[in-house]
């Protein structure tokens, strides 16, 4: 199975690089781009066919190894076979 | 609208930091983690209600500003209202 | 001129990806690696020959565009001609 | 001892996020910023007092765990006691 985990800065944490991309969009004429936030993505291959076990494992990994709970949020974007 | 864009290293491009996370998983007893690849995530707020226009815009941004086409793939993970 | 700016998480901010690399080091037999912290590096080309002006400019950029002052520290690692 | 390792994209590899920061600089009136490249920084604490051994170790780590040799260059920026 494969899990996609997204790790993003908490909404109240400033993201200067995302802001720079938003500014660059404006200079290129993409005025509709109101905000850009940059995060991290993890694609995790799991050697299991048990969807529940996979989800439990990924939750543990995300909390322990992938995200800093003080400044970041995480979510499982999807799990696929 | 909000678009989620994922930028990942092409499958044949080595990802040392992802590999380090996979190794760390193994030492922590998460033997089922066969592979980890780290990518970038962009959350883009768009001041439009036209879904087709939003998608067109995000495709342009991704190709021009977010990904390096030689070493990276990108995809629109989702667009939501 | 060229300036090298380092942006690092503040010492009290957890760095899960750096920790994963440290763990991976241990499993590979590099026991002497006590800690790893991952940061960002910016190499900035400046169209000026005035070293003082360059440094002033880079300080402004770092504070405004490169680092998040709440969670990150920054320093000019070096400026060279 | 503490080693600072810089990992940068090879000069011929496009860096879209660095480019976005350069564009953002221009819009903010920092016209002297000719180019920005974003890289990775690793601060490595080593439990050794042997400088030569530390350097040897860090070279191995950088080549095996920190950089992708196909698209990235690395250098030891400094080693300090």
pLDDT of residue D34: 97
pLDDT of residue A22: 95
Interval A9-16 mean pLDDT? 95
Segment B14-29, tens digit of pLDDT: 999 999 999 999 989 9
Q: Give the closest of A17, A65, A71 to C13, CB-based.
A: A71
Partner C contacted by D45 (CB < 8 A): yes
Touching subunits of A (3+ CB pairs, under 8 Å) are B, C, D
Q: Give the closest of B24, B32, B41 to A40, CB-based.
A: B41
pLDDT of residue B22: 95
pLDDT of residue D75: 98
Set of chain B residues whose Cβ sits within 8 Å of the Cβ of D20? 65
Residue of B nearest to C28 (CA): B23
pLDDT of residue D25: 94
**Backbone φ and ψ of A67, nearest 5°:** -120, 150
Angle between helices A16-27 and D16-27 (to 10 degrees): 70
Partner D contacted by B11 (CB < 8 A): no
10 Å Cβ neighbour count for C44? Answer: 28
Set of chain B residues whose Cβ sits within 8 Å of the Cβ of C26? 27
pLDDT of residue B1: 96
Partner C contacted by D79 (CB < 8 A): no
pLDDT of residue A2: 97
CA separation for the pair C67, C40 (Å, rounded)? 9
Q: Give the closest of C16, C65, C69 to A67, CB-based.
A: C16
What is the DSSP secondary structure assignment for residue B76, as one 8-state letter?
E
Segment C37-46, tens digit of pLDDT: 999 999 999 9
CA separation for the pair A73, D75 (Å, rounded)? 33
| Tokens of residue C6, six digits | 């380092």
Closest CA to D11 of A24, C2, C75, A41: C2
Segment A28-39, tens digit of pLDDT: 999 999 999 999
Closest CA to A7 of A57, A58, A76, A55: A76
What is the DSSP secondary structure assignment for residue C29, as one 8-state letter?
T
Disruptive mutation site among A18, A22, A41, A68 for chain C (greatest number of C CBs within 10 Å): A68
Residue D60, min C-alpha distance to chain B (Å): 13
Segment B47-67, tens digit of pLDDT: 999 999 999 999 999 998 999
Confidence of residue B7 (pLDDT cuts 50, 70, 90): very high
CA separation for the pair D18, D21 (Å, rounded)? 5
Residue of C nearest to A20 (CA): C65
DSSP D20-81: HHHHHHHHTT-TTEEEEEEEEEEEEEES---HHHHHHHHHHHIIIII--TTTEEEEEEEEE-
What pTM does this model have? 0.90
Residue of C nearest to D11 (CA): C43
Disruptive mutation site among D22, D32, D45, D58 for chain C (greatest number of C CBs within 10 Å): D32
Residue of A nearest to B26 (CA): A61
pLDDT of residue A47: 96
Computed over every residue of chain B, the mean pLDDT equals 95
Q: Please list the pLDDT of chain D residue by residue as tens digits (81 residues).
A: 999 999 999 999 999 999 999 999 998 999 999 999 999 999 999 999 999 999 999 999 999 899 999 999 999 999 998
Computed over every residue of chain C, the mean pLDDT equals 95
pLDDT of residue A60: 95
pLDDT of residue C31: 92
């Amino acid at each position: 199975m494969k899990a996609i985990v997204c790790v993003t800065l908490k909404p109240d944490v400033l993201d200067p690089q995302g802001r720079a991309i938003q500014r660059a969009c404006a200079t290129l004429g993409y005025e509709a781009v109101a905000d850009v936030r940059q995060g991290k993505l993890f694609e995790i291959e799991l050697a299991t066919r048990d969807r529940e076990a996979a989800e439990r494992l990924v939750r543990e990994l995300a909390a322990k190894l992938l995200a800093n709970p003080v400044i970041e949020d995480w979510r499982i974007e999807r799990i696929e076979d």
